[in-house]
Amino acid sequence: MRVLGFGDNIVDRFVDRGIDYPGGNSVNVAVYARRLGLEAAYLGVFGDDDLGRFLRESVTAQRVAVDHCVVRTGETGLSTLRVDDGDRVFLGWNGGGVTVREPLVLDGELLSYAASFDLVHSSVYSRSESELPKLAGLGPLVTFDLSSDDEFRAPSYLDRVCPHADLVLLSCSHLDEPATRALLAEAVGRGAKLALATRGVDGAIAHDGRTTVAAPARRVEGAGSLVDTMGCGDAFLTGFAVSLLRSGWTADAPPDRRMIERALHDGAGTAHEQCFVEGAFGHGRPAGQPAVSSMWQVFDREN
């Protein structure tokens, strides 16, 4: 089984630690799928600056393929944050840098490459909405992270994404259960085949238009052992999707209730493990430290 993360990458700078960590929703899903034993690749745009080199080296070190990525002239996406009692607090970002400003467009060659995967994942931070119709019906399952921001819950935005998605993820820790269920129903009503809501300590809910399944979160025992919650939502989604893939989920074979129940349990377990990881997947370095790689020029590929 093969998973492709398509879209965003970013460096997360923890100002309280003075450490930069590699990340990005699409990168994280590819890395977590690889850690769960699947083949994985990342497809997107890297900046040609030091942070871009740092990101690429970190992703490659996770045995995630990046050979079809593009390097463009420009700055890498950078977000700043700190951790308060284990929870990440975002302080700001530079808009995603060149990765978001000049996103990758899927041409015939890249579509053929994407078609070789079982699942392609993207997100609201990738500016990939225009590419989703190209992926729909190509063969792989398409998953999409709709984040927690209200701008990505507007009917006009859902109508751009949901008809082309086999699974959408919505972060709903700020919503009560009735509001969460209503949002899931709207996402499915607007075309998504399956919608998943993560609600932090309140667990998760999945809905496919016929069945709604809820499951509790797996609690972290001992607050002192918690590192931070960076990447927990991405980890839940990956654990959930990988569980469904291993149970036989394909574009032509939707999951049944039993498969969804198991996937919610597996997703909670993956998210729980993520609570003990620094940043999205480790590989931290002192903020501003130069990256060194003799292989960087070998892998450069202009679009």
User: Virtual CA dihedral for 141, 167, 136, 55, nearest 10 degrees?
Assistant: -70
Residue 226 resides in a domain? yes
Residue 51 resides in a domain? yes
Reported as a single tens digit per residue, the pLDDT across 89-123 is: 888 899 999 999 999 999 999 999 999 999 999 99
pLDDT band (50, 70, 90) for residue 224: low
Question: How far, in Å, CA of 246 to CA of 92, rounded?
Answer: 38
Q: Token pair for residue 259? A: 């498969």
Residue 241 resides in a domain? yes
**How many H-runs (helices) and E-runs (strands) does the chain carry?**
10, 14
Residue 290 resides in a domain? no
pLDDT band (50, 70, 90) for residue 86: low
Quick one: pLDDT at residue 290? 52
Residue 292 resides in a domain? no
Q: Give the other-Cβ count within 10 Å of 299's Cβ.
A: 16
Question: How far, in Å, CA of 9 to CA of 284, rounded?
Answer: 15
Residue 39 resides in a domain? yes
| CATH number of the structural domain spanning residue 241 | 3.40.1190.20
CB 93 within 8 A of CB 79: yes
Residue 291 resides in a domain? no
Quick one: pLDDT at residue 294? 28
Reported as a single tens digit per residue, the pLDDT across 120-147 is: 999 999 999 999 999 988 999 999 999 9
Q: Which H/E stretch holds residue 143? A: strand 141-145
DSSP calls for 272-303: HHHTTSSTTTS--EETTPPP--TTHHHH----
Which amino acid makes up residue 234? Answer: D
Number of independent structural domains in the chain: 1
Question: How far, in Å, CA of 140 to CA of 226, rounded?
Answer: 35
What is the domain extent for residue 22? 2-284
Nearest CA to 107 among 99, 98, 96, 115?
Answer: 115
- The contacts of residue 13 (CB under 8 Å, 6+ apart) are 19, 20, 21, 78, 79, 80, 81, 287
Reported as a single tens digit per residue, the pLDDT across 24-80 is: 999 999 999 999 999 999 999 999 999 999 999 999 999 999 999 999 999 999 999
Reported as a single tens digit per residue, the pLDDT across 138-183 is: 999 999 999 988 889 999 999 999 999 999 999 998 999 999 999 9
With a cut of 80, say whether residue 85 has pLDDT above it. Answer: no
Residue 301 resides in a domain? no
Question: How far, in Å, CA of 134 to CA of 104, rounded?
Answer: 13
Is 23 strand, coil or helix? strand
With a cut of 80, say whether residue 184 has pLDDT above it. Answer: yes
Q: Nearest 5 degrees, angle CA 76-CA 81-CA 82?
A: 150
CB 184 within 8 A of CB 170: yes
